[in-house]
A and B are shown apart, each in its own frame.
Chain A
Amino acid sequence: MRVELVSYLPSKLVLEALRREGLVISERELLRHLSFTFAVSGISRACSHQLVRHRIASYSQQSQRYVRIKELARMAVEPPTISRRQEAQAIFRRQVEAAQEAYENLISLGIPEEDARFILPNATPTNILITMTGSALYHFFGLRCCNRAQAEIRELADRMLILCRRVEPELFRRAGPYCFQKGYCEEGRFSCGRMEEVKAKYEVLGYER
């Protein structure tokens, strides 16, 4: 996975303009007017499916209708729970190789990419450009930095948070999983039970030298 913050609207541009007019705005309101654009590559389609459930955001994703998938077996995203176990990894890789072969065979029969892709697995890699406002990012981090989130999207959320903290350290100081933002866990019986450890992580994530 590669994640880069390619562009954003810096808070100081807005704050300086308001200051010149003798106006002020709360941090919470300001976040609604700032946006951050991330270039993300090499995540799985499983991850992008979860991502686009965050609807207060904008996405431009690589099309499987117009872009032919190459080297699926080499590029497929493998979850760590599978990589850690040799037996599981063998099953996973066999299946991905079979999917690649079926996809290529369908293409060679003249089936268009938009239909041949029906055989592709959730592990297929994708590229996507994501834009969210500061307030949408707070909600995204609240849910996806949580230990209950799936590992890949949690890694993506952590990386995005680090990038936000680099450019807007004060605005994103309180961003992180909801237990960090609110001081309590909302997961009920599904709680990881490690709130203090999680809070300690997000106090420093992205601020380390």
Chain B
Amino acid sequence: MRLKLIASTPGVETLVATAILTTSSGKTPQEIYGELRGDKVRVEKIVKRIILKHGSVLEHNRLVFLAEAEENEILSLLLANRFLEATRLGRGRWLLSCNLRTLLSLLKEGEGLPEGLREGLEEALREVAPSLWRRVRDAGGAR
């Protein structure tokens, strides 16, 4: 399977940080997002605090992939995670999308996933959420 990230929600880590502070502060999400946008250092500090198993704050985004895969590979993916969306585009070509929570859950699955999937997901994570990627890597979940 070959996976290529073709589009994603802008400012993924800023949204993760906004979600974290929305739940725990008296400020509105508009105020929080306004303050965090453009403040990479603060966003990274907040994202580093996240407890990875409390995953709902990782859901405010979308990553869209173009995949070259066999039908059975897509089926195994859909069975592994029910929050993944897939559209057949043509023979062996698929559009796949998910949010960061689903992506991390797929990375955690490890064994039994189609070959090439892990590399594509890790690359996407590194591109859209570098602080989170470093945390996952340091925890042994990414190479």
Are B7 and A39 in contact, with the CB atoms below 8 A?
no
Residues of B within 8 A of A63 (CB): 23-24
Q: Name the distance in Å between B64's Cβ and chain A's nearest Cβ.
A: 5
Q: Name the distance in Å between A135's Cβ and chain B's nearest Cβ.
A: 9
Identify B28's interface contact among A8, A23, A127, CB under 8 A: A127
Q: Which of A13-21, A101-109, A137-145 contacts B (4 or more CB under 8 A)?
A: A13-21
Residues of B within 8 A of A70 (CB): 26
Residues of B within 8 A of A34 (CB): 62
Interface size for chain A: under 10, 10 to 19, 20 to 34, or 35 or more residues?
A: 35 or more
Query: Any chain A CB within 8 A of the CB of B56?
Result: yes
Residues of A within 8 A of B8 (CB): 9
Residue interface mask B87-115, A partner, CB < 8 A = 1: 10110010101010000000000000000
CA distance A87 to B112 in the complex (A): 66
Residues of A with Cβ closer than 8 Å to B? 2, 4, 6-10, 13-14, 17-18, 21, 23-25, 29, 32-35, 37, 39-42, 58-63, 66-68, 70, 127-129, 131, 133
Residues of B with Cβ closer than 8 Å to A? 6-11, 15, 18-20, 22-30, 33, 56-57, 59-62, 64, 66, 85, 87, 89-90, 93, 95, 97, 99
Known pairs A33-B64, A42-B28 / 18 extra A-B pairs, C-beta < 8 Å: A9-B8, A14-B7, A14-B95, A17-B7, A17-B66, A25-B87, A25-B89, A60-B20, A60-B29, A61-B23, A62-B25, A67-B25, A70-B26, A129-B22, A129-B60, A131-B61, A133-B62, A133-B85
A-B contact list, 15 entries, CB within 8 Å: A6-B18, A6-B33, A9-B7, A9-B8, A9-B64, A10-B7, A14-B64, A17-B66, A25-B87, A33-B62, A33-B97, A39-B22, A58-B60, A63-B24, A66-B24
